[in-house]
Structure 1
Amino acid sequence: MPKAIVLGGYGLIGRACLRALSRSGFDVSGIGRSRRSAHAVGLSVEWIIRDIPTLTVEDWRTILDGVDVVVNASGALQDGARDDLEAIHVTAIARLVEAAAALPVRIVQISAAGVSETASTAFFRTKAQGDKILSSGAQDWVILRPTLVVSQDAYGGTALLRAAASLPLIQPRVLQEAQIQTVYVEDVAAAVVESAQGRIRSGTIADITEHDVHDFPDLLAKMRKWQGWAAPVACPPIPAALVLATGKIADALGYLGWRSPLRTTALTALADGIRGDPNTWQSAGGSACRSLDETLALLPATRQERLFGRAYIALPLAIGTLALFWLLSGLITLIDPARAMSVLTERSVSSWLIAPTVFGGAVADILLGFGILWRPWTRHAALGMLALSSLYLIGSLFAAPDLWADPLGPMVKVLPGMTLSAVVWLLVEER
């Protein structure tokens, strides 16, 4: 049984490749840095839990022992707290190629349509550099360059399309000149299998894409219709400056660990157009890819699709609201601690408890407000908010029970915040 290893095996394309190769008779293993994400794939395959950019040439030689095919489906959209484009797209490929130089192994590289060393984004430039290293240094290789991948899994660009198409009542007109081609993720996986089986000659560089071309507003309209939403009431145009500002905010969040598909790299790529030449793949002997209409027909939208689209919009709003509420709560207390202390003093709370309670609570509020914005801590911060809110409620029953009957409802209003914290904890996946 031939052996294949998929780098980034739990990503959108990687997991589809794992499944397709396994169905085609390969003994498949995956490589990635997250054991939790690997487990979520749900396949009984061997996993090598390593951070791919940190693997040395010697590490690769050990990993490649007995391997017939390496599929590189790893990658990152933009530099951030957890991602280094140069490391993952260039350095890792160089070490892999060096390790495989004397081995009978085929490397199938998942690149991207439109890559170029002079491209407008670092993503495309570093991908192009990695492709060049592979094509000039490896003995047996195939480079596949998909366009915008559409999948049953909601991740990255596919999640963004679902969310944008799910906006209630409106369908903003944005990137109106952008020309986009799509490809079904299973067609990408099928191309990987054909390459892994040796049915595609070594040295092939091919775009994996449908023939049809869509402008971005029409693409969103098709996604909206597929999801089953009513036609939008309004389609307001979005100024380019607002789109750019959104991208800059998403870039900043990238340094807090968030991998938003609204970062400037994605927006620039969409604005430039995502196009490929399907003939490069078919002339190499590959099977034709399905059109977007055919892809969507294979993926009937369900209630879960619609709920995901709306939840994807609601989640960042919930996180932002909680961060703002907790930060302001702590800062307002620190600006005027005397007022907060007077509430406890008037209710005969022991004097030695007042200052630690007020200042400790304020600092805890601020830490939780910052913590929920830091991606690795978001779920923990949401639980912390639930716990601290519960302490406030319990403490108020003993120290200030009269506040529960206050017409402004200061204690009752804690309950919606707790509910919002619980929603964030439930919706944010640990990765």
Structure 2
Amino acid sequence: MHVLIVAASGFIGRHLAARLVAEGVRVTAAGRAPDRLGRRLPGAAAIRCDLATNGLEDWRERLAGVDAVVNCAGLFGDERGYARVHAGGAIALFDACRAAGVGRVLQISALGAAADAPSAYHRSKAAADDHLAGMGDAFGWAIVRPSLVIGQGGQSSALFTTLAALPVTPDLGRADGLVQPIHVDDLVEILVRLLHAPLPMAARIDAVGPEPMTTAALVTILRSWLGLPDTMRVTMPRWMIAGAARLSIGPVTREGMAMLAAGNTAPVEPLIAMTGFRPATMARALARRPANGDDLRTARLAFVAPVLRVALALVWFAGGAIPLFVIPAATNMAWLARAGLSGGMATTALWAGALADIAIGAALLLRIRGAALAGIALMATYTLILTHIAPELWADPFGPLAKNIAVLALSLAVNALETRHG
């Protein structure tokens, strides 16, 4: 069997591709960055695709010799992209599969997808689902609609594991409906069974775990998995939740909060009847890979990482603004004179340095890759110049140069965290 996985770089796509490659299945991984895909998924061929722009003709050559296609593409928080990727791009892919004679298509949708759903995310998924279902017996198809998917590398897992690692357990209170999480390994098992299921096949399947629960209960399970003891639970005020969602702080968005409030559950029995597989409870699924120290550190760093980036940005903003607006001009000129600069050259150097500092701070806040490393290079330049013209600053009780060591460490940490998520 030759399986083409669209959006193979995503959470579900990566896990499915790795499982199929391990079982000796021929896999082609499709995504917007094929070089990176090839490195991340050894054993799979990698090709470029972009559902946002590709039409039926773009898929013709890619689908030659393909037996099954799995569409794992999914955006969240990008309402402008929903119609292009979830709906238009997926529909073009399905039409191309029919034209190319592909034997089966699996569509990863979402529990709650419907034409009249309150969220644009679910409506866009439903548009592609209904188009695929409307193709009848053109090929075997299944629309798999997962609830919350938990597992290594998932955004939902990162969010709830981060919450689990906090000193207190946050509770969304009345803003929280029930979810029915399924582990990614169990979801992959379902997809593999559907890839090998006898044809004809035409099914909409709600892929859920066996236990409906609140997100607070899920956080408690993840906290136990991390090896942390029970702690105090604090109900978050609704105004705080609404404010965070309005500002789109981290993964908290108005759309995401609306989905949680609406709930996300379904009976598990039809899934078992269709696939012959019963997903494990979340506690049992997590126990298949016990957490280690790296898991706990990652969970705690996820909360700290944005703070480190903002703190470093503030250091650079201060470094640029203080010489321009706080330190007397005479003092600035005196220091620049010790470096051999005076007059217009001194003024130019002052403004160039200050604006460079402010640019580094802005780049950090904008999450421009390499900003922390650029800051290290600039800081090293300043340190060398000051060491040459005023070596006594190393012995100054306020540590104007010694503090650069701490800034260096902070910069290295921010860059390492950037690389972790790159």
TM-score (norm 2): 0.92
Cα drift, residue 107 of structure 1: 1.1
Partner of 2:83: 86
Structure 2: distance between partners of 1:165 and 1:109: 31
Note if 1:164 corresponds to 2:156.
no
| 1:355 aligns with one of 333, 347, 355 | 347
Displacement after TM superposition at 1:334 (Å) = 3.2
Larger mean Cα displacement after TM superposition, 129-138 or 183-192: 129-138
- For residue 148 of structure 1, what is the amino acid of its counterpart? L
CA distance in 2 between partners of 1:342 and 1:124 (Å): 61
Q: Secondary structure of 2:248's partner?
A: helix
Which consecutive unaligned segments of at least 5 residues does structure 1 have?
252-259
Is the aligned partner of 1:115 residue 2:113?
Answer: yes
Contact 1:334 1:359 in 2 (8 A): yes
Match of residue 150 from structure 2: 150
Paired position in structure 2 for 1:319: 309
User: Aligned partners of 1:148 and 1:200: how far apart in 2?
Assistant: 28
1:275 to 260, 265, 268: 265
Equivalents in 2 of 1:102, 1:42: separation in Å? Answer: 28
RMSD: 2.2
Amino acid at match of 1:122: A
Identity %: 27
Shift of 1:268: 2.5
From the superposition, tell whether residues 199 and 209 of structure 1 become closer, same or farther in structure 2 (CA, over 3 Å): farther
Cα deviation code 1:221-262 (max 9, x no counterpart): 111111011322x322211221222223336xxxxxxxx432
In the alignment, the residues of structure 2 paired with residue 21 and residue 55 of structure 1 have an alpha-carbon distance, to the nearest angstrom, of 26
Q: Which residue of 2 aligns with 1:296?
A: 286
Secondary structure at the aligned position of 2:107 is classed as strand
Contact 1:112–1:146 under 8 Å retained in 2: yes
SS in 2 for 1:107: strand
Relative distance call for 1:30 and 1:42 in structure 2 (3 A) is closer
Distance 1:208 1:171 in 2: 28
Instruction: Specify the code of the residue in structure 2 equivalent to 1:142.
Output: A
- Structure 1 residue 282: deviation in Å? 2.3
1:341 and 2:340 aligned? no
* Residue number among 268, 290, 298 corresponding to 1:308 in the alignment: 298
CA distance in 2, matches of 1:100, 1:36: 24
Q: Distance in 2 between matches of 1:214 and 1:173?
A: 13
Aligned-partner SS, 2:61? helix
Partners of 1:229 and 1:118 in 2: CA distance: 42
What amino acid is aligned across from residue 370 of structure 1 in structure 2? A
The whole-number CA distance in structure 2 between the counterparts of 1:24 and 1:397 is 60
CA distance in 1, matches of 2:327, 2:124: 52
Aligned counterparts of 1:46 and 1:343: Cα–Cα separation in 2: 63
- 1:32-431 matches, within 5 Å, as 32-35=31-34, 37-79=36-78, 84-105=81-102, 106-137=104-135, 139-140=138-139, 141-151=141-151, 153-167=152-166, 169-175=167-173, 177-199=176-198, 201-232=200-231, 234-250=232-248, 260-336=250-326, 338-339=328-329, 341-345=332-336, 347=338, 349-351=340-342, 353-375=345-367, 377-378=368-369, 380-429=370-419, 431=422
The alpha-carbon deviation at position 278 of structure 1 amounts to 1.5
User: What displacement does 1:63 show?
Assistant: 0.8
- Give yes or no for contact 2:18–2:41 (8 Å, CA) kept in 1: no
Change (3 A) 1:336 1:293: closer
* 8 A Cα contact 1:77 1:265, kept in partner: no
Q: Which amino acid aligns with 2:126?
A: A
SS in 1 for 2:295: helix
Find the aligned partners of 1:179 and 1:66 in 2 and give their Cα distance. Answer: 43
In the alignment, the residues of structure 2 paired with residue 32 and residue 56 of structure 1 have an alpha-carbon distance, to the nearest angstrom, of: 15
| Deviation of the 1:154 alpha carbon | 2.9
Give the corresponding residue for 1:257.
Answer: none
Tell me how far apart the structure 2 counterparts of residues 7 and 42 of structure 1 sit (CA, whole Å).
13
- TM-score, normalised via structure 1 length: 0.90
**2-side partners of 1:31 and 1:14: how far apart?**
10
Return the offset for 1:19.
Answer: 2.2
Structure 2 counterpart SS, 1:372: helix
Distance change >3 Å, CA 11–CA 134, structure 1 → 2? same
Instruction: State the 1:286 CA deviation.
Output: 3.8
Aligned-pair distance for 1:348?
A: 6.4
Q: Distance in 1 between matches of 2:325 and 2:285?
A: 57
Are the equivalent residues in 2 in contact too, given 1:31–1:52 (CA < 8 A)?
Answer: no
Which residue matches 1:9?
Answer: 8
- Deviation, structure 1 residue 175: 4.2
* C-alpha separation in 2, matches of 1:59 and 1:332: 55
Residues 172, 236 of structure 1: 8 Å contact kept: yes
CA distances 1:69-108 after superposition (whole Å, capped 9, x unpaired): 000011111217xx71211101111211221223332110
Matched residues, number: 415
Q: CA deviation at 1:171?
A: 1.6
The one-letter code sitting in structure 1 at the alignment partner of 2:348 is P
What is the CA distance between 1:185 and its match in structure 2? 0.8
Q: Which residue of 1 aligns with 2:30?
A: 31
The alpha-carbon deviation at position 369 of structure 1 amounts to: 1.1
Residue type at the aligned position of 1:341: N
Amino acid at match of 2:149: V
Q: Take 1:416 and 1:243, find their aligned partners in 2: how far apart are those partners?
A: 34
Q: Indicate conservation of the 8 Å contact 1:174/1:237, yes or no.
A: yes
The DSSP-based 3-state class of the residue aligned with 1:205 is strand
Q: Distance in 2 between matches of 1:161 and 1:45?
A: 31
What is the CA-CA distance between 1:136 and the residue it aligns to?
A: 1.7
Could you say if the C-alpha distance between residues 418 and 73 of structure 1 is closer, same or farther in structure 2, counting changes exceeding 3 Å?
same
